[in-house]
Amino acid sequence: MLCCCVQTNFAITISQNPNQLRHFDDDFKSRYQDERFNYQGRAVVRRTKSGSGVYETNRNGEATNEPLETEEENNQRDFHINLGPLGWFFYLAIALAVVALVYLLVKEGGSGLFSTKRNKSLIPDEDITAENIENIDIETLIKQAENDTNFRLAIRYYYLLTLKTLSRNDLITFEDDKTNAEYLTELQQTAHFKNFGYISYLYNYIWYGEFPVDLQKYQKAKTHFTDFLKPLKS
């Protein structure tokens, strides 16, 4: 029996192309920066308080000792005022308003807001009484009388300032109906008795005598008052 062996050869041809190198675009990262490609989640900003009873669980559903981390939403909204090209005018108007307010305060005596309650009122000499003398700014009244060259009135204010200062030092009791002689009696046992007697004489001579007082005579009389007041104010 003739056996024929037939040998069959199969040829497989594989087409292979050469490797092709690919490169990333220079701006490829910018395409993956929005929320769609954020795989890390939002940052945790606070944790639940210890002892709250709310804890994390592991993969098996068992509670752990770690407090549950929660996210706190930020409800704040930024508030911006866009004034546009007129922004400079808005700030200029505010600056002018502030300057005007300061001017009005100074003009109307607004500086008194920062001064003490005492010595802030300015009223005519005939309105100065035992009830309000502590609140009268007599020194300013003296300066006003000097600026008006009303030296008789300035001496009048100096005498009232003397009585006010003596009363503050508890050397006399200022009363509306008291005479100069009564004040002098109160000072009889003090070191101020003699000098007070002399300035009382000057006051009576200048104010009640209605004699004209020029600048030179006024300066001499003023010196006696200021010398008397110095040790009482120290």
Structure tokens at 67: 């407090």
> Residue 112 — φ and ψ, nearest 5°?
-65, -15
pTM, two decimals, is 0.48
Say if CB 166 and CB 175 are below 8 A apart: no
Residues near 65 by beta carbon (within 8 Å), at least 6 away in sequence: 55
Q: Give the pLDDT score at 4.
A: 43
CA nearest neighbour of 218 among 210, 227, 206, 230: 206
Tell me if residue 56 falls in helix, strand or coil: strand
Q: Give the pLDDT score at 5.
A: 43
Say if CB 121 and CB 135 are below 8 A apart: yes
**Bridge-based pairing state of the strands 63-67 and 55-57:** antiparallel
160: number of Cβ within 10 Å: 19
How far is residue 141's CA from residue 137's CA, in Å, rounded to a whole number?
7
Q: Give the pLDDT score at 101.
A: 81
Q: Give the pLDDT score at 196.
A: 95
How far is residue 176's CA from residue 180's CA, in Å, rounded to a whole number?
11
How far is residue 58's CA from residue 166's CA, in Å, rounded to a whole number?
89
Q: Give the pLDDT score at 50.
A: 54
From residue 101, give the alpha-carbon distance in Å to each of 94, 97, 113, 115: 11, 6, 14, 19
4: which DSSP letter? -
CA nearest neighbour of 43 among 15, 84, 73: 73
Q: Give the pLDDT score at 117.
A: 41
Question: Which residues of the chain register pLDDT less than 50?
Answer: 1-14, 44-45, 54, 69-76, 109-121
Q: Is the dihedral of CA 123, 124, 126, 128 positive or negative?
A: positive
49: which DSSP letter? P
Q: Give the pLDDT score at 8.
A: 47
Q: Give the pLDDT score at 126.
A: 62
Q: Give the pLDDT score at 93.
A: 80
